[in-house]
Amino acid sequence: MPTIAENLHTVRVSMAEAARAAGRAPDSVTLVAVSKTKPVAALVDAHAAGQLHFGENYAQELREKADSPELAGVVWHFIGALQTNKAKLVAPRATLVHDVDRIELAFELGRRVGATHAGPRTVGILIGVNIGEEPQKSGVLPAQALALAREYAIVPGVNLRGLMCIPPADADPRPHFERLRALRDEGLARGLPLQELSMGMSHDYVDAIACGATLVRVGSAIFGARNRVAG
């Protein structure tokens, strides 16, 4: 069975090839290793192999890992649905929150972000877009995203940086990735701060890079199958 370091190497090579095939520099795409439910030891192995960015899906797990001395220097991302009352756990620790889909959450993240020894800080946010307009999914509808982006961009304590999506399951992801990129490009043309596109996971990150992703969220291809947690 390949080691975490070997898996990381394979993913990085694949990412670089996809970027070059799209006429992009390999360093234009950031790999976020999705480490939810994985033990600290697994993250330490990945960090030792040069992985800097890690993504967590559970607020309490992010707090525990981010506060671990073994993982000092890691850049933390929060990915997925976040309850407003858990913002206090995420905002002081995460550099980027990938799925903000309501203004109340943006304000609470900004209120809870805190400060460092150098003074006040901000937390980056991405607007979660329900790109497939699926009724069972959260996220803002594409038609609403840019109007909401103007509101998010002026929330104190947060730094709007872009858009994210998860395409419908069992569908060709490329049209959805292309739609999100077009939406981002339209936003940039309007002067909105939407430089980042978070899209693509273990099974479709190559397609996402081809369509312009700047952040890919890869978990099982690095760490293996997800460990189940109670609840």
User: Regarding beta strands 123-128 and 96-100, do their DSSP bridges make them parallel or antiparallel, or are they unpaired?
Assistant: parallel
In a domain, 39, yes or no: yes
In a domain, 231, yes or no: no
In a domain, 229, yes or no: no
Residues 89-99: tens digit of each pLDDT: 999 999 999 99
In a domain, 230, yes or no: no
User: What percentage of the chain carries pLDDT values higher than 90?
Assistant: 90
Radius of gyration of the chain (CA): 17
d(CA 128, CA 126) in angstroms, rounded, equals: 6
Please determine, for residue 226, whether its predicted confidence score (pLDDT) is greater than 80: no
Show the domain range for 166: 4-223
Residue 120 is part of a domain; what is its CATH number? Answer: 3.20.20.10
Residue type, position 216, single letter: V
pLDDT at 229: 46
* Average pLDDT along the chain: 94
> How many domains in the chain?
1
d(CA 224, CA 128) in angstroms, rounded, equals: 26
DSSP codes, 67-130? T-GGGTTPEEEE-S---GGGHHHHTTT-SEEEEE-SHHHHHHHHHH--EETTEE--EEEEEEB-
In a domain, 228, yes or no: no
In a domain, 96, yes or no: yes
Averaged pLDDT, 75-99: 95
Please determine, for residue 227, whether its predicted confidence score (pLDDT) is greater than 60: no
Say if CB 117 and CB 135 are below 8 A apart: no
